[in-house]
Structure 1
Amino acid sequence: MARRPTIKDIARRAGVSQSAVSFALNGRPGVSRETRARIRRVAEELGWQPNSAARALSGERAGAVGLVLARPACTLGVESFFLQLVSGVQEVLSAARTALLFQVVEDVDAECAVYRRWWAERRVDGVLVVDPRTDDPRPELLAGLGLPAVAIGEPRPSAALSSVWADDARAMADVLDHLYGLGHRRIAHIAGMPDLAHTVRRIDSLRAQAARRGLTEAEVRSVPTDYSDAEGAAATRRVLRGPAPPTALIYDNDVMAVAGTGVAAELGLAVPARVSVVAWDDSPLCRVTHPRLTALVRDTAGFGRLAAQELLDVLAGGPPRAREGEQPRLEPRESTAPPPPAY
């Protein structure tokens, strides 16, 4: 059929009334077993599917969950983290016959507007919330709307949101342990967006670990960016051209690490002979770059599966809780080595 089949089409082909079709497809009494079977067979032949909007208006589930991303769209095409995360989410949702409604917006205010619209239109049964903020309006909004949600990357559940998280502070401690053990004392952290809660946790962990070793903020510092290759490269150029340049660089994603490695080569600073490089998330980019980049390795798709399953559990009536995902594991490769003797 050139258009979406309707209950009227099914009734006409099955030779029954529209009310009989409604009873049969909704599992209500009022039709015989044989008629019910015939109606369902005809519905399958016509490719009929229930209208999610109509079902939502009747109080049934929409059969979809939402994911809104408030980040620069330019960072999505090259950063592998979200692609892997969404693949894991989709794997679980597909098995549960649940759709994923995805939207990219410019900021958190626009994200909140999307939640309000989805709630009013009953478009989704719940949402996955990414990039928790330090001053985040979303938990209170979602609680007020009564929209079930799971926060990805927030170690503390709230009355409204369950959460799944990984220990960023411990991962940063592992990175600093590695670099300090090699002899590095001047380290720059090319960080992500400063209002993200996980960025703050990484910066705080780096400062605490540096202070514990007697290193000052002039020796170990963080430079916020928007996660893009352009800002990662610009930040790298500033710190390497500045006074007392670092002998090691920690990047909050793989894209910035690759861009920063290119900047080091442009400035005549060989990796790792003059400057060492560590990427926060491993990806094929880290493994095909020369030299291969030392990186934090984790099952990002598995993290997405954990988040999606937690949301399905919440929709089934489970209580809010925090679930810790796999701890990122540092894999040393050719991009890290002791600093040159002169440093």
Structure 2
Amino acid sequence: MSRVTIKEIARRCGVSQGAVSYALNNQPGVSEATRARVLRVAAELEWVPNRAARQLSAARSETFGLVLARTAQTLIEEPYFMGFVGGVEAVLAEHSYALALQVVADLDEELATYRKWAAERRVDGVLVVDLRVGDPRIPVLRKLGLPAVLVGDPALADGMPCVWTDSTAAMNAALDHVASLGHRVIARVAGPPEFGDVWIRDQAFDVAVRRLGLSAVTHHTDYSASRGAGATRDALAGAARPTAIVYDNDLMAVAGLAVVQALGLRVPADVTLVAWDDSTLCRITHPTLTALSHNVVGYGAEVTRRLLDLLTGAPAQSHLYSTPLLIIRDSSGPPPRCRGRVGSAPARRRVSERSG
């Protein structure tokens, strides 16, 4: 079946092709009666716009870009980016946009990708993840004139538009929770220290540890299951074994749970575990995992909407999307020395979701 053209719609309506173009693009130049007739005939003929022609006339690619400088194995394992990209795609589909997704080895390759996309006008804008402190991508994107929305805290964005979640408040909620249960020796299994969100969590963790009078240590990893398991093993082998461990993502928390159980320890009787992100993984483990929960799909969708707004002339600004909510599950409990002396519902708990 051949494609229905503007010429055919014009013939059926008895008007010029220019009038049809004005009507279909909601531009002035035709009467409301003519516009209504054109739209009715276009719908009857199941007309759809020619994507190539629209791109040429608008000088746009109708494509957004997303570059991920992560190993393919980490992307396969980690639920976060599957949810985030799902949110991006949901919004793009509503606007007939496409997503150019590029997986690269490092920042140099990521910068080269932006330069290539800008030179070839491959994308209309980019979503930028994994912000760094003093991020070298920001000046390059400015020089290229490539519209961008950064996924991260305004402290990392250098005035560029960004969408962020409040990691400081979330970290405080996690440590208030474990401290209220009676834990005093804490470990944190964190992401890469060069990532800006990890840097912000590092600072929040250190401040909260001092405020609560805790003994704590942070083990930095690459967010992978294997490194999360290794860091958990190292933490539990130390002289002062922690009775609570906070993880920077749920993949490492699930890997850590397996290590704890393999060592013959019980969760939460011997060790309390708290995860970040709260994907389905946290709800299907045994025991289920306490987690800092936020809507990752919604996060990806909001970032995409902000980039679309930017293309229509909206001012560049930062936007707080959410503060992760602490969901209490079966992996939380008092340390052995406090068992039986701590109430079952400490005041600082945000939400309780225990099973059974």
- State the secondary structure of the residue aligned to 2:77: coil
- Residue in 2 that maps onto 1:49: 50
- Residue in 2 that maps onto 1:76: 75
- Residue in 1 that maps onto 2:351: none
Instruction: Give the Cα separation in 2 of the matches to 1:213 and 1:151.
Output: 33
TM-aligned CA deviation for residue 155 of structure 1 = 2.4
Tell whether 2:114 aligns with 1:115: yes
- Percent identity over paired residues: 45
Distance 1:191 1:279, change over 3 A: same
Counterpart residue identity of residue 87, structure 1: G
C-alpha distance after superposition, 1:1-22 (max 9, x if no partner):
8xx98x9xx99xx99xxxx999
Distance 1:258 1:45, change over 3 A: same
Instruction: Give the Cα separation in 1 of the matches to 2:335 and 2:67.
Output: 42
Whether the 8 Å CA contact 2:159–2:317 is kept in 1: the answer is no
- Residue in 1 that maps onto 2:255: 259
Whether the 8 Å CA contact 2:182–2:338 is kept in 1: the answer is no
TM-aligned CA deviation for residue 78 of structure 1 = 2.1
Whether the 8 Å CA contact 1:229–1:256 is kept in 2: the answer is yes
Counterpart residue identity of residue 225, structure 1: T
Distance 1:22 1:123, change over 3 A: farther
Question: Mapping of 1:26-65 within 5 angstroms?
Answer: 49-51=50-52, 55=55, 60-65=59-64
- Residue in 1 that maps onto 2:99: 100
- State the secondary structure of the residue aligned to 1:336: coil
- Residue in 1 that maps onto 2:346: none
C-alpha distance after superposition, 1:79-131 (max 9, x if no partner):
11111111111111111121111111111111111100000110111000011
TM-aligned CA deviation for residue 234 of structure 1 = 0.7
- State the secondary structure of the residue aligned to 1:291: coil
Tell whether 2:122 aligns with 1:126: no
- State the secondary structure of the residue aligned to 1:277: strand
Distance 1:182 1:159, change over 3 A: closer
- State the secondary structure of the residue aligned to 2:245: strand
Question: Mapping of 1:147-296 within 5 angstroms?
Answer: 147-156=146-155, 161-215=160-214, 219-296=215-292
Distance 1:259 1:147, change over 3 A: same
Q: 4+ residue stretches of structure 1 with deviation over 2 A?
A: 20-28, 44-52, 154-161
Instruction: Give the Cα separation in 2 of the matches to 1:114 and 1:23.
Output: 41
- Residue in 2 that maps onto 1:91: 90
Instruction: Give the Cα separation in 2 of the matches to 1:79 and 1:100.
Output: 20
- State the secondary structure of the residue aligned to 1:127: strand
Instruction: Give the Cα separation in 2 of the matches to 1:299 and 1:187.
Output: 27
Distance 1:139 1:337, change over 3 A: same
Instruction: Give the Cα separation in 2 of the matches to 1:24 and 1:117.
Output: 37
Counterpart residue identity of residue 236, structure 2: L
Distance 1:22 1:159, change over 3 A: farther
Which stretches in structure 1 are left out of the alignment for 5+ residues? Answer: none
Whether the 8 Å CA contact 2:134–2:156 is kept in 1: the answer is no
Counterpart residue identity of residue 322, structure 2: E
Counterpart residue identity of residue 218, structure 2: S
Counterpart residue identity of residue 51, structure 1: A
TM-aligned CA deviation for residue 71 of structure 1 = 1.2
Counterpart residue identity of residue 90, structure 1: E
- State the secondary structure of the residue aligned to 2:241: coil
Instruction: Give the Cα separation in 2 of the matches to 1:159 and 1:205.
Output: 20
Counterpart residue identity of residue 325, structure 2: R
Instruction: Give the Cα separation in 1 of the matches to 2:120 and 2:164.
Output: 30
TM-aligned CA deviation for residue 284 of structure 1 = 1.2
Q: TM-score, normalised by structure 1?
A: 0.85
C-alpha distance after superposition, 1:310-337 (max 9, x if no partner):
1011000111100001210001111011
Q: How many residues align?
A: 327
Whether the 8 Å CA contact 1:157–1:321 is kept in 2: the answer is no
Q: TM-score, normalised by structure 2?
A: 0.82
TM-aligned CA deviation for residue 49 of structure 1 = 3.1
Whether the 8 Å CA contact 1:131–1:153 is kept in 2: the answer is yes
Whether the 8 Å CA contact 2:127–2:148 is kept in 1: the answer is yes
TM-aligned CA deviation for residue 297 of structure 1 = 1.2
Instruction: Give the Cα separation in 2 of the matches to 1:68 and 1:107.
Output: 10
User: Cα RMSD (Å) of the superposition?
Assistant: 3.2
Counterpart residue identity of residue 324, structure 2: P
